[in-house]
A and B are shown apart, each in its own frame.
Chain A
């Protein structure tokens, strides 16, 4: 089989303009694949999977009783982003993060955007991520969202959209780094000919971002990664990032508040912690303030945090911006705070709490995707066109009962990238999650995690729902 026979079909394909005609930036890759031939490509695919398994690049699935790990299925045909596209994405993401950060700082202090009625106050106050105890919080340098993983998708016409802003603890960056490592040994010659922007800077940039939060007078501040532990689905990543940055990986049970500071239990007694990169949700961080049943957090941490004696990334309370209703107001935030037009578009979103929009949603459930405002990871959603009438009816009831909890969006036809399915090249739908760090400047890691729906025809790319990943190549100008 020859790659030139690959038919992109009636979709936006990231590598091909039409059958037999690869996009300019993809030509060296396609040539190389053709010269290797399918049997060799499949051998390399297998070698890459084995390499990832041996490295233990695994995740856990919550619903799996056995608690076993799996590797995230990996497809060696990369997704390529042209220099021009990347230039727009980079600018757009910086703009968006800048505005979101101003929004967070605003709603936890003066709440101007609510007073000016740009966003209805009750929407913000009813968001599950809005945390009253964070009112008046002043995180170092005014930065709230230090690490963001924004989900982008492309529709049938090639138009980019922001699908979700993940401002709490976005995961997946370890796959970006490990996938790249494996890809370099899979296609060394292609890396040689194509100018692909490196992604390896991320751990150093992340460490800089965290060190930036420590008080200036500390010469050697202690930075830690706070993980829920080995049964968390993203544990590999927590451990990996701690290792790459050379900092301690801690769990809640390693930490204790003593003498007004956060301290960790070491073999030589208690040692002060200055900066936490937390990978547990807001709700779990301090059982005395938030969920009392949390075993993952540290009692008393919030008080130390409010006193400015420990820095936390991302700041507590950032989850409010992950609410999908609030998401729909991000373009308005950009206009309000920055006085600019948004560079990246939102997916058109219907808000079920508005009666007229709700009516439209209920009348068109068979064409829309309905999402629960507070959930992520592909949980709690209805894909109208693929659902049964019974499922749609059940969702309609939920929408009518809790309108604030639901939004609806048109079913996008996600762009595709050819992938290896059962020994053939087949187009599979993808999204893209670039990682953005907010420190002295805003840094967008060139590339990101391309998640791919490896089940034939599937639109769901989440790893918890059978999705896989691809390396993302951003071509240099």
Chain B
């Protein structure tokens, strides 16, 4: 498969997944605020922090308010990680590989894009109900895309590149969501164990669609340890970091043909190391390292995997 095509299908999936996760962060925070007593002043800055673009936000919008944050993360066309920018990028990528993906996938990403630009242009997000409905729709459209891709495209090399893109993006965002909760807690150690604290952990689970699944796998209590463990180390929940990395590794080895558990090329080794670390680390060890420090390290290692994928498959240079 053409390197450029593999690159585009990888980014198509990353951008769709990114848009979905942006919707998740914001939606959950909105919900959380509805539940919060007045003492909790608006916690909007951490949301921007999750995206890693706080500096840019401050420069463009100043103080973080609900309205500004929703506008920035959803519709700011000049901000490359806003939902509308993600969809534009996803669609551009899809457009350049229309003959490779299924027409259903193209139609889905196209109507997703049209839905988002319609809302962006109508400026209709005045009341909270409309905002929540919009984020719901973004999540749904993203799920539709993943489902359509799974059900209509041959699970060939290109499909696996798409999977890797989606899974790496998802692992990264789950890690970020968890990291931000840690950040919110820092100034208010007093809250630990309070009702408010539990509400926040619940909100966190919900933002990863993990609340119900967390309960089902026997998490009667909502404790920081167990929640973090579920979101980082669970092997079956599809948004946990470990699950994503396991699946991404499987796709990578599908592409290269190297048996899992061994490596021939550097990218397999980098990916295998991240996966092995997640296989053998315990949540206690993670808290010993410090949750924030651990997640930070994990994210840079996942970035390294992304870079290696680029070097190995997308940036082929002929021998001069």
Asked whether A and B interact, the reply is yes
A binding-site residues for B, Cβ under 8 Å? 54-56, 229-230, 235-236, 239-240, 242-243, 248-251, 253-254, 256, 258, 263-270
Check if B4 sits within 8 Å of A251, measured CB to CB. Answer: yes
Contacts of B226 in A (CB 8 A): none
Closest chain-B Cβ to A166's Cβ sits at a distance in Å of: 23
- Work out how many contacts link A and B, with CB atoms closer than 8 A: 65
Identity of the chain B residue whose Cβ is nearest the Cβ of A225 in the assembled complex: B99
Contact for A267 among B3, B103, B107, B319, CB less than 8 A? B3
Contacts of B3 in A (CB 8 A): 254, 265-267
Q: List 10 A-B contacts (CB under 8 A).
A: A230-B92, A236-B98, A243-B103, A248-B2, A254-B3, A265-B2, A265-B316, A266-B3, A267-B2, A267-B313
Q: Check A55 against B103 for contact (C-beta < 8 Å).
A: yes
Interchain CB contact under 8 A, A256 and B107: no
Residues from chain A with Cβ under 8 Å of B319 in the complex: 258
**Chain A residue contacts of B2, Cβ below 8 A:** 248, 250, 254, 264-267
State whether the Cβ of B259 lies closer than 8 Å to any Cβ in chain A.
no
The interface size bin for chain B is 20 to 34
Known contacts A54-B107, A249-B100, then 13 further A-B pairs from the complex at CB < 8 Å, ordered by chain A residue: A56-B107, A229-B96, A230-B92, A239-B95, A254-B2, A264-B2, A265-B318, A266-B2, A266-B3, A266-B316, A267-B255, A267-B316, A270-B316
Known: A55-B103, A56-B107. A269 touches B316 (CB 8 A): yes
Q: Find the A residue at minimum CB distance from B161.
A: A267
Per DSSP, chain A at the interface is mixed
Q: How distant is B247 from chain A, measured CB to nearest CB, in Å?
A: 19
Is there contact, CB below 8 Å, between B99 and A239? yes
Q: Which residues of A contact B103 (CB under 8 A)?
A: 55, 243
The interface residues of chain A lying within 8 Å CB-to-CB of B39 are none
The CA-CA distance from A264 to B1 in the complex, in Å, is: 9
B223 within 8 Å of A by Cβ? no
Contacts A266-B2, A267-B313: A54 and B111 contacting too (C-beta < 8 A)?
Answer: yes
Q: Report B-chain residues with C-beta under 8 Å of the C-beta of A250.
A: 2
Chain B contacts for A256, CB-based, 8 A: 318
Q: Give the complex CA separation of A268 and B3 in angstroms.
A: 8
B270 contacts chain A at the CB level, 8 A cutoff:
no
Given the complex, which residues of A lie within 8 Å of B96, measured CB to CB? 229-230
Q: How far is the CA of A1 from the CA of B316 in the complex (A)?
A: 63
Closest residue of B by beta carbon distance from A256 = B318
Report the Cα distance A236→B110, complex, angstroms. 13
Q: Does B230 contact A (CB under 8 A)?
A: no
Q: Quick one: CB contact mask for B80-119 with A, threshold 8 Å, 1 for yes?
A: 0000000000001001111110010011001100000000
Q: Which residues does chain A contribute within 8 Å of B304, judged by CB atoms?
A: none
Contact of A56 among B99, B106, B157, B318 (CB under 8 A): B106
A266 touches B1 (CB 8 A): yes
| Main DSSP-derived SS at the B contact region | helix
Q: How far is the CB of A110 from chain B (nearest CB, A)?
A: 39
Give chain A residues whose Cβ lies under 8 Å from the Cβ of B95: 56, 230, 235, 239
Task: Give bound CA distance, A256 to B320, whole Å.
Answer: 11
How far does the alpha carbon of A249 sit from the alpha carbon of B5 in the complex, in Å? 9
| Beta-carbon contact of B99 and A270 below 8 Å | no
Whether B64 is near chain A, meaning CB under 8 Å from some CB there, is no
A242, B1: Cβ atoms closer than 8 Å = no
Q: In the bound complex, what is the Cα–Cα distance between A156 and B51 (angstroms)?
A: 65
Residues of B within 8 Å of A249, CB to CB, are 97, 99-100
C-alpha gap A265/B97 in the complex (Å): 15
| Residue of chain B at shortest CB distance from A235 | B95
Whole-angstrom CA separation of A230 from B3 in the bound complex? 17
Q: Are A263 and B318 in contact (CB under 8 A)?
A: yes
B98 and A239 form a contact (CB under 8 A): yes
Which residues from B are CB-within-8-Å of A254? 2-4
- A242 and B2 CA atoms in complex are apart in Å by 14
Contacts of A56 in B (CB 8 A): 95, 98, 106-107, 110
Distance of A267 from chain B, by nearest CB (Å): 4
- Check B6 for interface membership: any CB of A closer than 8 A: yes
Most B CB atoms within 10 A — which of A235, A250, A265? A265
- B4's partner among A265, A269, A270 (CB-CB below 8 A) is A265
Q: Report A-chain residues with C-beta under 8 Å of the C-beta of B107.
A: 54-56
Q: Which chain B residue has the least Cβ–Cβ distance from A269?
A: B316
Residue on A nearest B99 in the bound complex, by CB: A243
Contacts of A230 in B (CB 8 A): 92, 95-96
Query: Measured between alpha carbons, how far is A242 from B103 in the docked complex, in Å?
Result: 13
The chain A residue with its CB closest to the CB of B255 is A267
Chain A's nearest CB lies how many Å from the CB of B246? Answer: 22
Q: Which residues of A contact B92 (CB under 8 A)?
A: 230
Once bound together, how far apart are the Cα atoms of A83 and B216, in whole Å? 70
A71 to B318, CA, bound (A): 39
Separation of A249 and B313 alpha carbons in the complex (Å): 18
Give the docked Cα–Cα distance between A239 and B1 (Å). 15
Residue contact B1 to A267, C-beta cutoff 8 Å: yes
Nearest Cβ distance between residue B118 and chain A, in whole angstroms? Answer: 13
Name the distance in Å between B114's Cβ and chain A's nearest Cβ.
Answer: 9
Chain A's closest residue to B6 (CB) is: A267
A265 vs B6: C-alpha distance when bound (angstroms):
11
Name the distance in Å between A298's Cβ and chain B's nearest Cβ. Answer: 12
A250 nearest CB neighbor, chain B only: B2
Inter-chain contacts of A263 with B (CB < 8 A): 318
Nearest residue (CB) in A for B91 is A56
Which residues of chain A have C-beta atoms less than 8 A from B313's C-beta? 267
Pairs A-B, 7 closest by C-beta atoms: A243-B99, A242-B99, A239-B98, A265-B316, A267-B313, A265-B3, A239-B99
A54→B115 CA distance, assembly (Å): 12
**Residue numbers in A under 8 Å from B100 (CB-CB):** 243, 249
**Residues of A contacting B99 in the complex (Cβ-Cβ under 8 angstroms):** 239-240, 242-243, 249
B318 touches A258 (CB 8 A): yes
B287-320 interface bits toward A, Cβ cutoff 8 Å, 1 = contact, 0 = none = 0000000000000000000000000011010110
> A269–B103 Cα gap in the complex (Å)?
28
Q: Which of B100-155 contact A (CB under 8 A)?
A: 100, 103, 106-107, 110-111
Given contacts A243-B98, A256-B318, A267-B255, A54 and B4 within 8 Å (CB-CB):
no
Q: From residue 239 to 280 of chain B, which have CB atoms closer than 8 A to chain A? A: 255
